[in-house]
Amino acid sequence: MLYHTALQAKEVPWIDHIALGVGHANGGADTYRLGIQHAFASLLWQGNTMHLSGYYELSVGYWNNHDQNITNFAFSPVFQFLFFGHNPLFKPYAEFGIGIAYLSKEYIYDDTIKQRNLSSEWQFEDRASLGVKLGKYDINLRYLHYSNAGFKSPNDGMDIIQLTFTYQINI
């Protein structure tokens, strides 16, 4: 009898990748993020040196600073520019996306201003990443910005830098 893992492509066709991120936010918060991804387009555009693809990411995050914490849930469409190279196992890329996030609290302790007030539990999540695909794995440096876009004041926002590791579970 063959052993089957719970994450085989035929069993979870709506998950293509699993991503884990760790990082640091402005004001001193440590951040952690777990995401599942699903490609909405493997090829949106192709040029001579790159192509454009896209995926959705559904994630849960945790921010902690001085015993104050926020849990966040986010959904983002992401566009990825994959640069062609001669090595199929080493592919650099850049990606960008804007999504929505729900935060468990509107505020968190901040080492510089003492209290970061986001004023709303609903936020926009902007992201930009630079990374490299290494076969079924990829690693990237991701910038995330959370803001309510000025719909409610004050709008202190939150900036996060994360190192993210991703594993491709479907081929």
pLDDT surpasses 80 at 9: no
Q: Is 111 helix (H, G, I), strand (E, B) or coil?
A: coil
The pLDDT of residue 12: 67
- Rounded distance between C-alpha atoms, residue 84 and residue 61, angstroms: 32
The whole-number average pLDDT for the span 51-71 is: 95
pLDDT of 52 higher than 60: yes
* pLDDT value for 72: 97
Q: How is residue 87 annotated by DSSP?
A: -
Spans of all domains in the chain:
18-168
Kindly state the average pLDDT of the residues 4-26.
Answer: 76
Average pLDDT over residues 64-80: 95
Interatomic CA distance for residues 145 and 3, integer angstroms: 42
- 8-14: Cβ within 8 A, 24+ apart: 8/169, 9/169, 9/170, 9/171, 12/169, 12/170, 13/170, 14/38
CA distance 28 to 110: 6
For residue 133, give both structure tokens.
């695909």
What is the rounded average pLDDT for all residues in the chain?
89
What does residue 70 show for φ and ψ, rounded to 5 degrees? -135, 135
Share of the chain above pLDDT 90, in %: 67
| CATH class, range 18-168 | mainly beta
Determine which of 24-33, 56-65, 84-93, 132-141 has the lowest per-residue pLDDT on average. 84-93
pTM (2 d.p.): 0.88
Residue keyed to tokens 């201003």: 113
Evaluate if residue 8 carries a pLDDT over 50.
Answer: no
Residue 42 pLDDT > 90: no
